[in-house]
Chains A and B, each alone.
Chain A
């Protein structure tokens, strides 16, 4: 009997370890030969712990499971009170286009045999038969853009590093996924770490870098442990090392752990941190592509960008490019979070409208109350009211509506949430996490909290001051922390003016 219980941190947070132990104990009690696989999560977090039993017809899903539901797994499966049917047939699964996350939740994350039998290493093998410039061209033509939030074309960044002179170059994977509502990087590293390794190896071969780092935030202990194990296994199998898959070309990598600084998700701050310095933002230019880690040419890419490379090399640039809308090609791992009925990870081609994502996929709020707004793109993203739910999910489409897609995290809030408080929190967070290098961010965020407090006390004269402050932060900050904090603040003020006028009315 083959049973799957996710080891994903979200599944564990909802009791997966207890369920796994109960399954093992029950199998032992019944003398059943059990293979228990701790897989990644399928992404349906509201159904976690989601247990799957392999049958001749396919994998049957059961969830959310508790230890009390375990004995019935060894009886008539169709009569199990938590039976959901075939996993692949569940609407959430059937509607997705899983390219980057094709193996997450499906395979044993640390089994290379499983990885290869599900298409793993095909991209790397193809890349090994190509020149670096050809690989860069393939990635450029795929239309892949930075999935961390900035949306910069990945191929163009790679070309800069490829063309830069230098005997030592680096691949740095930004796994400092600090944005609230985002967990795609975590799920990928926990559920299919070899895909990231393969993507980084391809990047290394493409630009001529032989060393890579994955900078993972310390808040992700499971992902850190999983990546470390996978790197050891990949090295033992000859995927990493002095001769990648006996090609004679070297690439190796290591995990580095962050230390609780949000700003280190910004690439230049991350590079300073990696060098053992304070995570202070660097002015650009010079671009990290030319003078990055230790002053050497460096590719800095998000986890999902790098993990999307293997499928692009395997299936070809045109295959990937044909998904999406406008200048947003391929797929995006949407993450539905906060007060949401069906929360989790949903990979789809760009182009779904925000309303489809929130209502059809997410099912609205968990509380059952009306959706008041959705913050798209993490703490530095704008709040979107239902009036803007017709916005198609794409980089330019969201920018045109005064927002950003960021790392594709969506936080739903119901009508009990006070948008003035959310705006205040955005400023407070910026003040706590500012690296302190530039004045608009360091001082502006503190003044922002004070100004919003004035508005909260009914002082409407402070509103233009807040707008002015936001403009200064937006235009004058060195990086996205100070530069984008105005997005949640101004969108809250623009779309939910009532929340900023309530105290005034009370005062009058």
Chain B
């Protein structure tokens, strides 16, 4: 649970940074997620008030976009591409392997809190699939053995 005063102080700094920006809601939500690892439920009414919209609207925007999380992710996020180009070179089998070794389904976090598995529809690495992002590192021509090695390197 986040300390409420701390949340309000950090949130206020983010809102100040975006004062006067046209269409600031997405940049604000990105900044909040960057700061807290997710968009805390307590933050939404404050953001809504600042932007002059209702809580329902703010909630509607936040939940529309796949990127914004209501809860923190695991320490590392593994994004596996599920799109067509990667499918033609074995992305489905790789995804089955990942779900099995992590013991989770899509969007799930491994029991030890290390890895969250997310599907992604295209990383623009379509000539070297199956593609993935592990943390902020792009990976191409991924297979089960290399995935195991990469996952072993995640703390």
Interface residues of A (CB under 8 A from B): 9-10, 12-14, 45-46, 48, 177-183, 185-186, 218-222, 256-262, 273-280, 293-294, 335-340, 343-344, 366, 375, 379, 409, 411-414, 417, 422, 425, 429, 432-433, 435
Q: Are B22 and A422 in contact (CB under 8 A)?
A: no
Partner of A340, one of B66, B68, B127: B127
Q: What is the bound-complex CA distance between A275 and B26, given in angstroms?
A: 8
* Residue from A9, A177, A178, A338 within 8 A of B129 (CB atoms): A338
Partner pick for A13 among B23, B83, B128, CB 8 A cutoff: B128
- Contact, CB under 8 Å: A180 / B30: no
Contact of A10 among B61, B88, B122, B125 (CB under 8 A): B125
Report the Cα distance A318→B133, complex, angstroms. Answer: 43
Q: Does B84 contact A259, Cβ atoms closer than 8 Å?
A: no
Q: A180-B83, A180-B126, A379-B83 are in contact. List 15 more A-B contacts (CB 8 A).
A: A9-B124, A9-B125, A45-B128, A46-B127, A177-B124, A218-B67, A258-B26, A277-B25, A278-B64, A337-B129, A338-B85, A338-B89, A339-B88, A375-B84, A435-B64
- Kindly name the residue among B25, B30, B121, B126 whose own CB sees the greatest number of chain A CB atoms within 10 A: B126
Q: Is the CB of A411 within 8 A of B88?
A: yes
Contacts of A414 on B, CB cut-off 8 Å?
88
Q: Is B128's CB under 8 angstroms from A48's CB? A: yes
Tell me the bound Cα distance from A177 to B88 in angstroms.
20
* A183–B126 touching, CB < 8 Å: yes
State the Cβ distance, B58 to closest chain A Cβ, in Å.
10
Docked-complex contact A411 and B126, CB < 8 angstroms: yes
B141 at the interface (CB under 8 A from A): yes
How many chain B residues touch A (CB < 8 A): the figure is: 42
A180: shortest Cβ distance to chain B, in Å?
3
Contact A181 B120 (CB under 8 A): no
Jot down 22 A-B pairs with beta carbons below 8 A, ordered by A.
A13-B131, A14-B141, A178-B122, A180-B86, A180-B122, A183-B124, A183-B126, A186-B124, A219-B122, A257-B27, A258-B26, A259-B30, A259-B68, A276-B24, A277-B61, A278-B61, A294-B22, A337-B126, A338-B89, A338-B126, A339-B88, A422-B84
The smallest beta-carbon distance between A340 and chain B, in angstroms, is 7
Do B125 and A339 touch (CB < 8 A)? no
B32 → chain A, closest Cβ, in Å? Answer: 12
B20 in the interface, Cβ–Cβ < 8 Å?
no
Are B121 and A417 in contact, CB atoms less than 8 angstroms apart? no
Closest Cβ of chain B to A427, distance in Å, is: 13
